Amino acid sequence: MNWFVVPSLGGLGTRSNEGYRLKAGLRTAHRPIFASASKSLLVRALLPFWVLALSFATVAASQPQIGPSGDAATRSYSEGPLKLDDFQASPPSDTGGLDAVTTSDVRFNYSYQARSTRGRATAYATELTIDAVVIPSKSWIRLRSDARLMDHEQGHFDITYIAALRARVEAAKLAKKGQRFIATGASPKAAIDLLGKKVQRFVQPFIDAAKARQREYDVLTKHGRVRTAQAGQRREQIETIKSLSEELKRIDR
């Protein structure tokens, strides 16, 4: 898991309620504000947030399964491709013609510092990490020996990872420019709450794009049933992951 130091300007973006639920993700009109020179350190902490992606099913269309993952056990994309152990939920009695459902998240965490001076508090992110995870307890597969089915589900997980990579790249670019996520408020809590919303708004556009891409993937491949389209989509996903990973390495040098 990569950490990004995002050192002068708050993240911008939009928030959508269509499909993704953000923890404490309220819309805010505040603009980015530069940090003050205050020396009074009030708090330093690690604050986790989660951004829920979607559950995607194979063979027939399905409605996204929406809801925060909470404390459900997850596995990072960095631990390797999907395997049968990642599908621990039991298929429902009525699968609606589906053969599998994979639930994955784009998840981010950040640490911050908050300072207060002359009745105003400032909070800024010191580190940010963004990852893709699968949630086994909310994923199921009916045909456990079908390699084509597993490959299609891996494509859904790859799309989630691509969203995380794109967000990492943009965060690294901000860090390279010496910019940071920052917020001010009447109290440390107010500043910290606003900081969280700004980081959420930074990540949200990547989530929204992934949501659209997941749907497109199922349409183009007819849920993995069109072999040529499936193979083409998988090649494109693998090439995109390679390209973004190389770009991230170049920025981090």
Claim: this prediction has a pTM higher than 0.85: no
String of b and e for 183-212 (b: at least 16 CB within 10 Å)? bbbeebebbbbbbbbbbbbbbbbbbbebbe
Sign of the CA dihedral with 129 first, then 152, 70, and 30 last: positive
118 torsion bin: left (phi>0), alpha (psi -120 to 50), beta (else):
left
Distance of alpha carbon 49 from alpha carbon 130, whole angstroms = 10
145: Cβ–Cβ under 8 A, 6 or more apart, which residues?
none
At 249 the pLDDT is 97
Q: Are 149 and 82 in contact (CB under 8 A)?
A: no
- For residues 71 and 219, give the distance between their C-alpha atoms in angstroms, rounded to a whole number: 32
CA distance 101 to 58: 7
Contacts of residue 92, defined as CB under 8 A and 6 or more positions apart, other chains included, come to 140
Contact present, 88 and 136 (Cβ < 8 Å)? yes
Per-residue pLDDT of the chain (253 residues; tens, 9 = 90+): 332 233 322 222 222 222 222 222 222 222 222 222 222 223 333 343 333 334 443 332 222 232 344 457 999 999 999 999 999 999 999 988 789 999 999 999 999 999 998 889 999 999 999 999 999 999 999 998 999 999 999 999 999 999 999 999 999 999 999 999 999 999 999 999 999 999 999 999 999 999 999 999 999 999 999 999 999 999 999 999 999 999 999 999 8
